[in-house]
Structure 1
Amino acid sequence: MAFSKTRLVLMAVAVSLSLAACGGGGTPASKGEALDNFTAEEIYKRGEYALENERKPKDAVHYFSEVERLYPYSEWAKRALIMQAYSYHRARQYEEARGAAQRFLDNYPGDEDAAYAQYLLALSYYDQIDDIGRDQGLTFQALQGLRDVIERYPDTEYARSSVLKFDLAFDHLAAKEMEIGRYYLKRGHYTAAINRFRVVVEEFQTTTHTPEALMRLTEAYLALGLTDEAQTAGAILGHNFRSSPFYQDAYAQLRGRGLEATAKGDSWLTQVYRQVIQGKWL
């Protein structure tokens, strides 16, 4: 992005020095004053000052919005719009951040800051998914937004950052499935638990939750007396995650029943075993 955080800090310092040199004591005009007689650049710099020197992103939004209102279609208005999105995000006003970022993309789709606007759109969802217990709709939207950055702007720093965040968000979805599966398993609702753990194995197999999901499948199938499925889950776990403590747990459960971690039967797990372990996809 043209306006990196480092550049913002440097520009803000320059603004504060210039204000002090003008005899204003280094303090910009208050947010409540009329700005009609100020130039677009002067208002814009007040926004930068509020954002970086005073750490008041909501005040910064006001100044950047005024630039857009008083000087529409100008270069400063374009700059102010992307800074509105950034300031809203800093203020944790995520819906407003999305709105400003989307307006930037609608008005300036070919601009050099379009990649950053798309990235802010994705972040506005991503930064709200830290709580596993919340509705996962935000996580799906974050994944879509991050995918858009990766596909549309593959050679940018934002794409590289999006790849890392995509993996974390994907892992977050798997964690939610595991949480629900454990809930059902603890209460003896084995079929419901199996359905959740199956989702992790089939759809989130690249996440960190797959070893536990296979161990929990072993446990749930043993509880139902479905030994072929339990042994097959143990076989997949042993082949891919032999050093995992989850394999040790599953192995102990199987041995306690006189069983081995061996693929048996013709269940969905057997198909996974054939595909993943034996490479037989047909």
Structure 2
Amino acid sequence: MWEATRRMMRTTREITRVLRAAAVVAALAVAGCSGNKLDTSALNPDPPSKMFADADAMMAKGNFDDAAVKFESVDREHPYSQEARRSIVMAAYAYYRAGKTPEAIASAERYITMHPGTKEAPLAHHVIASAYFDDLKTANRDQTPARKALEQFKILKSRYPESEYARDADNKIRICQDNIAANEMEVGRYYLNKHNYVGAINRFKTVVSDYQTTAHVEEALARLVESYMALGITKEAQNAAAVLGHNYPDSKWYKDSYALLQSDGLAPREDGGSWLSKAWNSVPKLSVPKMSFGNG
């Protein structure tokens, strides 16, 4: 009888353990379901179209920071929706309007990487160009912002010539080029004053080759005459003076260059095989005709 009682007690304990284990499993399942419901409720329940419209409304009210965050949430929470792609570039634009240029550039670059050539791509390039343009430095400082802005404005002009942003780019291209040329002249004059004529020539050559339409080209040509004369490379000095005289005959820089050559018994003389003649004639001029040399 005692043996039967012990067997019954063991059976009861086994049943109890099984019931407790089942209760734990059930509790975990309930907790898991509850957790899933919480996770689901944490997501924005709004459809992407409403989220985009809300962000657009924030933009209209001037709440650019909030709009940028809202646009980003469209892409994050509805990445496969039609609104997701445009929300990336709109976030970039909102960040730019908020004055957050690093965030604006990062978002716009992400858009260009993911969606090149799409209809919003001109806006992305415009955001990047404008962000760098707003950060232009004076001539004696690093011109990286000017170079990067210039690159983006040129992309707008070449790839998207009919876009509204391309039409606005011409004047800013000229400003960027002028800034870069001014910096090259600043460094070139420094080298010239230090009698580092080769270093000076390289800077002035850049202005003459790449930034011929800026106001700095006359001085650059005159400085080339000065630098080449200092090195005794008279043929190049005469050619630089000839380019200067034929295109800017009334320039004070030409008068100075002419006098410098005369002091050594020389005169301006064209050399059609010179790098300068080739570089000069390779770029169309808007305000002056291509040079036509004589033999004087």
Q: Give TM-score scaled by structure 1 length.
A: 0.68
Q: Which runs of 5+ in 2 are unaligned?
A: 1-41, 283-289
TM-fit CA distance, 1:145: 2.6
Alignment-derived partner of residue 277 in structure 1: 291
Q: Is 2:156 the counterpart of 1:149? A: yes
Q: Which amino acid aligns with 2:194?
A: R
Q: Which runs of 5+ in 1 are unaligned?
A: 1-33
**Of the candidates 227, 239, 245, which is equivalent to residue 232 of structure 1?**
239
Alignment-derived partner of residue 253 in structure 2: 246
**Of the candidates 183, 191, 195, which is equivalent to residue 190 of structure 2?**
183
Q: Is the 8 A contact 1:40 1:76 kept in 2?
A: yes
TM-fit CA distance, 1:184: 0.8
What do the CA deviations read for 1:214-264 (whole angstroms, capped 9, x no partner)? Answer: 111122233344444333322211101112232233234334555433347
Task: Assess, with a 3 A threshold, how the Cα gap between structure 1 residues 106 and 73 changes in structure 2: closer, same or farther.
Answer: farther
Q: Is 2:108 the counterpart of 1:101? A: yes
TM-fit CA distance, 1:204: 2.9
Q: Is the 8 A contact 2:222 2:244 kept in 1?
A: yes
Q: Is the 8 A contact 2:51 2:70 kept in 1?
A: yes
Task: Assess, with a 3 A threshold, how the Cα gap between structure 1 residues 219 and 38 changes in structure 2: closer, same or farther.
Answer: same
Greater radius of gyration (CA): 2
**Of the candidates 153, 157, 160, which is equivalent to residue 167 of structure 2?**
160
Task: Assess, with a 3 A threshold, how the Cα gap between structure 1 residues 223 and 156 changes in structure 2: closer, same or farther.
Answer: same
Alignment-derived partner of residue 192 in structure 1: 199
Cα separation, 2, equivalents of 1:194 and 1:42? 60
Q: Is the 8 A contact 1:229 1:265 kept in 2?
A: no
TM-fit CA distance, 1:109: 4.9
- Calculate percent identity across the aligned residue pairs: 40
Q: Which amino acid aligns with 2:229?
A: L
Task: Assess, with a 3 A threshold, how the Cα gap between structure 1 residues 161 and 221 changes in structure 2: closer, same or farther.
Answer: same
- SS of corresponding position for 1:129: coil
Cα separation, 1, equivalents of 2:225 and 2:50? 66
Matches within 5 A, 1:1-282: 36=44, 44=52, 47-48=55-56, 50-51=58-59, 53=61, 55-105=62-112, 109=116, 111-263=118-270, 268-269=275-276, 277-278=291-292
Aligned length: 246
What do the CA deviations read for 1:60-88 (whole angstroms, capped 9, x no partner)? Answer: 32233334444444455444333211121
Cα separation, 2, equivalents of 1:265 and 1:108? 47
Cα separation, 2, equivalents of 1:168 and 1:273? 21
Q: Give TM-score scaled by structure 2 length.
A: 0.65
